[in-house]
Amino acid sequence: MKLCILSGADVRRAVTMAEAIQAVKGAYIQLSAGQAIVPLRTAVPVQKQEGVTLFMPAYLSASDALGAKIVSVFAGNLARGLPLIHAVVIVLDAETGRPVAIMDGTYLTALRTGAASGVATDLLARPDARVAAIFGAGAQARTQLEAVCTVRSIEKVWVYDAVTERAAAYAEEMKTRGRPIPSAIAVASSPAQAVRDADVICTATTSTTPVFDDADLKPGVHVNGIGSYTPEMQEVPAETVARARVVVDSRSASLAEAGDLLIPLKKGLIRKADIHGEIGEVAAGQIPGRQSGDEVTFFKSVGVAVQDVAVAAWILRRAAELGLGIEVDL
């Protein structure tokens, strides 16, 4: 039995951000249409290393994509000079269950998470959005900016990180990426400076407290909250959530894991009924997106395996066309 192995470099060559956004949008539509089987992910805490390993399977029946991701998030890795996140994705033949590929999932995780915000920004942000603010300066923050710039003509970017040196390094790196990312990228001295003029905000941190103040937001801003993925983590103020049109990637996953929603729920600031719907419903035209230029919109993503499986299936098809990867006998 042959198994294709794709490296991180192969994954990068096989898919663009625009293609990943397209794949994730299709996956979200299938998820909201009941055409996906996605068990809640299984988390295995590794407390002595400040880490957690997540097991995330999914099957998309309409596109016949089957697979799973194993992803580890170990906070201590940064001090070791290692990435915060490591991951692998396995793709299975949906007809036989046979493993057909294993690929690096570290970049794929950042890519599909960025693509999720790309889908949401395209559907919910003001069409004339020109200024973006990025919270965090890690791998996720890089693909967040790339995705937002793919779907909106961003002219100015503010980046804020608790470690100023990280934000400065991020700004210098992203300035060299070229279009669609603008060269006008500045390090904010405070969260207020970062969000004051922002039309689109992406939070990509591991914070347990809000990273900006609700009072500092301009009317009509769109917020993508992607960093918090446990009930205790919170990046977006409860006040913002309470007044925003809230759209999620998955109702069940968000209500089980998203501190950005669970904390306001416990405080009585919002009800479950205040969640407008899933992004797949907006993408399919089943429910409306933004209703006015001054409305605040909030996309909360905890990440669902349909994203990984859909993008991995795209990568595998493209890799075959380009002759990428190596084949081994199992």
Average pLDDT over residues 209-214: 97
- Does 1 have pLDDT greater than 90? no
Domain 2-109+306-329 = CATH 3.40.980.10: no
- What was the pLDDT predicted at 56? 95
**267 labelled catalytic:** no
- What was the pLDDT predicted at 49? 87
Instruction: Name the CATH topology of 127-303.
Output: Rossmann fold (3.40.50)
Spell out the domain ranges in the chain: 2-109+306-329, 127-303
Tokens 């207020």 correspond to: 192
Tell me the H-state helices in 214-287. 238-243, 251-257, 259-267, 279-283
Contacts of 308 (CB under 8 A, 6+ apart): 56, 58, 67, 69, 89, 105, 108, 109, 112
- What was the pLDDT predicted at 126? 98
- What was the pLDDT predicted at 76? 87
- What was the pLDDT predicted at 323? 95
Q: What is the pLDDT of residues 244-258, one digit of tens each?
A: 999 999 999 999 989
- Both tokens of 213, joined, read 């103040």
- What was the pLDDT predicted at 106? 92
Average pLDDT over residues 200-227: 96
Single out the catalytic residue among 25, 69, 218, 266: 69
Binned at pLDDT 50, 70 and 90, residue 85 comes out as confident
Q: What is the pLDDT of residues 27-43, one digit of tens each?
A: 999 999 999 999 988 99
Q: What is the pLDDT of residues 124-171, one digit of tens each?
A: 999 999 999 999 998 899 999 999 999 999 999 999 999 999 999 999
